[in-house]
Chains A and B, each alone.
Chain A
Amino acid sequence: MKVTVKLPKIGMTMESATVVRFCKAPGEAFAIGEAIYEIETEKVNQEIEATAAGVMLSHCIAAGDDVDVGGAVCVVDIVGH
């Protein structure tokens, strides 16, 4: 099943974040719990982990871009759904 991964809100006052890097290129598979991208907020750098196994299909933005909370980061295909 295709899923658009959206930027989570991980801080009380967080409104946006910079996506520092993608850990998976399009076509690469990932396991549950594996980091798929890393963000930088005003407070922390944080790897965002997959909540299901799947395959990275595409990146919606380039590494280094800012995304608002809830904005699309990447599209993945979730295995088994």
Chain B
Amino acid sequence: MNEELELLLQELALAEKVRYCYQCGTCAGGCPVAGAEPSYNPRRMLEALARGEGEAVLAADELWLCTLCHTCLERCPQGVGLSHVFTRLKEIAAARGHLPESLLAELQTLYSAGRVIPLSGPIKRRRAQLGLPAVDQQSGLADLRQIVEATSLGRVLAAARAKGEEKNG
């Protein structure tokens, strides 16, 4: 297991009581996602972490199914901060370039266009009809790119690019 993940798991063991899980299944039973998609099971994810299979949890697409409704966290009798744990794991996965394509596409659009939903012909027309001022596409774009590059978003983007090249090359 890589060092970063190991450190994170040590931190989560303290901050989010990951090791307190006694596998009762309250999280999985109450999870709205697990109800719709049985392959997603928060109890199993905690079990895998306890078994030292953190890498597998990071690599699994299911990690990204958590909607952060926090029901599991509210109900856990042992006070494990499940949704917080999943958020931290997502951060590491993303930093390695492992994130769903839809999210990556959003991030790339943000970087290239300055907004998650880029200005399109129809939007411009609609703005004109409503009498809204025209938007300067370039305004603030440089600043935003600087922010992305300076923060972990830049790491995510770079990692995703590297992974993409690896795949293509």
Determine if chain A interacts with chain B.
Answer: no
B interface residues, Cβ below 8 angstroms from A: none
A interface residues, Cβ below 8 angstroms from B: none
